[in-house]
Amino acid sequence: MPGTDAREAARTVTGSLEPPVHLPHLPELPARGPGADLIGRTTGLLVELYAHLEPSGWRISDRPGRDTRRARAWLGEDLDALEEFTQDYAGALKVAVTGPWTLAAMLERRSGEAMLGDAGACRDLTASLAEGVRAHLAELRRRVPGARPVLQLDEPSLTAVLTGRVPTASGYRTHPAVDRAVVRDGLAELVAAAGDAPVVVHSCAPDVPFALLRRAGATGVSFDAALLTERDDEAIGTAVEGGTALFAGVVPGAGASGTALSDPAGSVMGVRSLWRRLGLSPGLLAESVVITPACGLAGASPAYAREALAHCVRAARSLADNPE
């Protein structure tokens, strides 16, 4: 979400609690700076691993320092705000953390190279993150007793990890592709750590590995619908038939004018077209698809962010009321 006010963001995402068509969540506010960003926020959750900020990015530390304390403070502030606006709420409540492979691609070892280049470091990182996720979900349940947590793993670098396109520190080479079975097992460890909480894996890159995510145990896959191509159809169809939910980013995250959000039915036209191509039952749409903004909402104005979320609710209703 845009802005720096945790209470205002929490009010926005919980202001129209209308289950089952609205999915409230713990907002992230990267505009506050280091520690509130994608990587820094999740480093604050790690157990017995710490990180600090270097000019080149986040790097593993021997002990918690100022950057770790700041990341944890931002998260605590966000949880306080969410707790305030979810009094007596009962229903699904989503929290997001950076997934193990994007974290490994972006977090540096002491040498300055990405943790991705050391298989042992990746295993330690995944185990630490799994412990942090368990504690995070327990804290959410403590603060919002009626919540049914949904865990989102943000994996924008997942495709690059699988295809060997993560650059080394020098920028002259790339790290070798990680074996798909190893990637699957790392994600499966996080799915196991979530316990009975459904896990959604978010990837905003092309070539989302739907089949791999399904085998890792993901309940849902979140993606930017504008990046799909027809070569994704078979994998998507198999995933839906296997019970995987699709979190379709069809509402522009930023840079759109108000007129772009005037037609909820038009926003989900591509979803209906996909369903027809796959030959799936229209009745499955409301059960299988969640309408979301695409990436980039943090770069929009607060007013646009509020309207985009409300538009998602209207578009979802349109899809449910008229699936064909």
| Helices assigned H by DSSP within 54-208 | 66-85, 100-106, 119-143, 158-163, 180-193
Distances in whole angstroms, Cα of residue 147 to Cα of each of 25, 87, 193, 271: 11, 10, 17, 29
Q: Which residues lie across from 54 on neighbouring strands? A: 57
In contact, 139 and 84? CB cutoff 8 Å = no
Residue 124: CA count within 13 A, CB half-sphere: 13
Burial of 196 (0-12, 13-18, 19+ CB in 10 A): exposed
- Gap between the Cα atoms of 225 and 250, Å rounded: 6
25-61: b or e for each residue (b if 16 or more CB lie within 10 Å)?
bbbbbbebebbbbbbbbbbbbbeebbbbbeeebbbbb
Does this model's pTM top 0.75?
A: yes
- Gap between the Cα atoms of 148 and 146, Å rounded: 7
pLDDT at 255: 60
Residue 43 in tokens: 């480093």
In contact, 22 and 43? CB cutoff 8 Å = no
Q: How many CB atoms lie within 10 A of CB 273?
A: 10
Residue 187's closest CA among 97, 120, 249, 107?
Answer: 97
pLDDT at 234: 94
Q: What stretches in the chain show pLDDT beneath 50?
A: 257-259
pLDDT at 182: 98
pLDDT at 183: 98
- Gap between the Cα atoms of 222 and 205, Å rounded: 11
